[in-house]
């Protein structure tokens, strides 16, 4: 099947207009030519010469590939701007009952303890992490991943979170840097997606905690609890083990943050909040439903919310 490209050929006047637009785009954004080239899919030296009129020995208008790329770039920006105009603003952080429990656990940990927070996805753990880190001093957040499962890679990620951007060396040197940085800080290390850490990485973190008394909060899914129970020495260190489930009262708080007040719609969103994805599902559904209503210039309705949920989660979603 052939690809349809709306515009392939450009007059010299059109090319000059594109050159001027691109120059203004660069200047307005205080961008380098390298940054402009990366965004437009062109070579830095080529695009700067093309805009200045020096490309192809001054006969820049003969080349149709460059203006084609720039034209598609500006077309895409226009389409993105039109889409953004329909996108709703996601409500600010809401202090749900679950968020209060999570932040209490973090406060206990920052007092020099180790805690774990485990739950199914979507109950608001990540939002609580962001809020706590933004409002409390000396809080460092690391998101564990399969690539940072081991001791050296985890310590490097932790040092980056601590502000050590050029972390190198043996595991012993990396661990020593972490210990020096956090000792006596009264701070808190939050490890999100902690179920991805190996036993060795978890034990290294326990050792850092034992020596420095730095607070540690391990946050993850249900597998986190399963993993921690395997390691008796680590599990016994936990001053609090928080296991979370979706809370219908939380769902109502999030629904009201989206300015949903009618009982039928509140009931629907609470039902969505009890399913997979929990509060995250409510946010995704409302974002899509509000966007669709704005695009069609119609008010948000319960049918629109149901349709958005169906589009996201399939025919049998509700």
148 in a structural domain:
yes
Its domain, for residue 82, covers 12-86
pLDDT of residue 313: 83
Residue 23 pLDDT exceeds 80? yes
Whether residues 231 and 293 share a domain: the answer is no
Residue 219 pLDDT exceeds 90? yes
- Report which of 135, 215, 145 is spatially closest to residue 127, judged by C-alpha positions: 135
Q: Which of 193, 217, 245 is the last residue of a domain?
A: 245
Q: What is the mean pLDDT of the chain?
A: 90
pLDDT of residue 92: 86
Residue 231 pLDDT exceeds 50? yes
- pLDDT band, residue 5 (cuts 50/70/90): low
Tokens of 7: 């515009």
Mean pLDDT of 66-72: 92
Whether residues 140 and 205 share a domain: the answer is yes
- Report which of 76, 53, 27, 90 is spatially closest to residue 259, judged by C-alpha positions: 90
- 3-state SS, one letter per residue, for the chain: CCCCCCCCCCCHHHHHHHHHHHHHHHHHCCCCHHHHHHHHCCCHHHHHHHHHCCCCCCCHHHCCHHHHHHHHHHHHHHHHHHHHHHCCCCCCCCCCHHHHHHHHHHHHHHCCCEEEEEECCCCCHHHHHHHHHHHCCCEEEEECCHHHCCHHHHHHHHHHHCCCCCCCCCHHHHHHHHHHHHCCCCCEEEEECHHHCCHHHHHHHHHHHHHHCCEEEEEECHHHHHHHHCCHHHHCCEEEEEEECCCHHHHHHHHHHCCCCCHHHHHHHHHHHHCCCHHHHHHHHHHHHHHHHHHCCCCCCHHHHHHHHHHHHCCCCC
Percent pLDDT > 90 in the chain is 60
46 in a structural domain:
yes
Whether residues 118 and 200 share a domain: the answer is yes
318 in a structural domain:
no
Whether residues 103 and 62 share a domain: the answer is no
Residue 257 pLDDT exceeds 50? yes
Whether residues 270 and 253 share a domain: the answer is yes
**pLDDT tens, 44-56?**
889 999 999 999 8
Whether residues 254 and 125 share a domain: the answer is no
Q: Which of 35, 54, 86 is the last residue of a domain?
A: 86
Residue 83 pLDDT exceeds 50? yes
Whether residues 82 and 52 share a domain: the answer is yes
Mean pLDDT of 266-286: 86
Residue pair 185/232 in contact (Cβ under 8 Å)? The answer is no
Whether residues 225 and 157 share a domain: the answer is yes
**pLDDT tens, 120-161?**
888 889 999 999 999 999 999 999 999 999 999 999 999 999
**pLDDT tens, 185-196?**
999 999 999 999
- 141 class by beta-carbon count within 10 Å (0-12 exposed, 13-18 middle, 19+ buried): middle
Mean pLDDT of 243-249: 88
Mean pLDDT of 193-206: 95
- Report which of 259, 258, 265, 254 is spatially closest to residue 302, judged by C-alpha positions: 265
45 in a structural domain:
yes
Residue 17 pLDDT exceeds 60? yes
How far is the C-alpha of 22 from the C-alpha of 16, rounded, in Å? 10
CATH number at residue 124: 3.40.50.300
Q: How many domains does the chain have?
A: 3
pLDDT of residue 165: 77
Residue pair 244/117 in contact (Cβ under 8 Å)? The answer is yes
Q: Which of 230, 245, 260 is the last residue of a domain?
A: 245
Whether residues 36 and 76 share a domain: the answer is yes
- pLDDT band, residue 237 (cuts 50/70/90): confident
Q: Read off the pTM.
A: 0.75
**Residues forming a β-bridge with 129:** none
177 in a structural domain:
yes
> Which segment, 7-16, 60-69, 171-180, 223-232, is predicted with the most confidence on average?
171-180
**pLDDT tens, 97-126?**
999 999 999 999 999 999 999 998 888 899
Whether residues 46 and 149 share a domain: the answer is no
Residue 210 pLDDT exceeds 90? yes
Q: What is the largest CA-CA distance in the chain?
A: 75
Mean pLDDT of 175-190: 96
91 in a structural domain:
no
């Amino acid at each position: 099947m052939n690809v349809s490209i709306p515009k392939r050929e450009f007059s010299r006047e059109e090319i000059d207009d594109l050159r001027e637009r691109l120059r203004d785009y660069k200047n307005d954004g205080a961008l380098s030519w390298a940054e402009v080239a990366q965004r437009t899919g062109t070579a830095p030296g080529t695009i700067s010469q093309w805009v200045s009129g020096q490309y192809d020995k001054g006969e820049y208008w003969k080349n149709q590939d460059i203006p084609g790329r720039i034209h598609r770039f500006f077309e895409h920006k226009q389409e993105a701007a039109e889409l953004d105009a329909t996108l709703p603003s996601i409500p600010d952080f809401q202090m749900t009952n679950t968020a209060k429990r999570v932040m209490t656990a973090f406060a206990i940990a920052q007092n020099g303890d180790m805690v774990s927070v485990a739950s199914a996805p979507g109950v608001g753990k990540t939002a609580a992490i962001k809020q706590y880190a933004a409002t409390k001093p000396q809080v460092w957040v690391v998101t564990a991943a399969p690539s940072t499962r081991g001791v050296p890679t985890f310590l490097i990620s932790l040092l980056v979170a601590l502000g050590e951007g050029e972390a190198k060396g043996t595991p012993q040197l990396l661990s020593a840097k972490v210990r020096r940085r956090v000792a006596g800080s009264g701070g808190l290390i939050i490890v999100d997606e902690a179920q991805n850490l190996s036993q060795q990485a978890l034990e290294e973190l326990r050792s850092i905690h034992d020596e420095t008394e730095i607070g540690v909060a391990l946050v993850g899914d249900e597998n986190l609890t399963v993993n921690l129970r395997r390691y008796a020495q680590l599990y016994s260190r936990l001053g609090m083990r928080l296991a979370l489930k979706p809370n219908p009262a939380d769902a109502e708080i999030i629904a009201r943050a989206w300015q949903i007040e009618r009982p039928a719609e509140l009931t629907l969103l609470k039902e969505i909040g009890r399913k997979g994805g929990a509060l995250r599902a409510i946010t995704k559904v409302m974002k899509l439903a509000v966007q669709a209503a704005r695009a069609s210039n119609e008010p948000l309705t319960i049918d629109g919310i149901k349709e958005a949920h169906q589009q996201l989660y399939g025919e049998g979603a509700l």
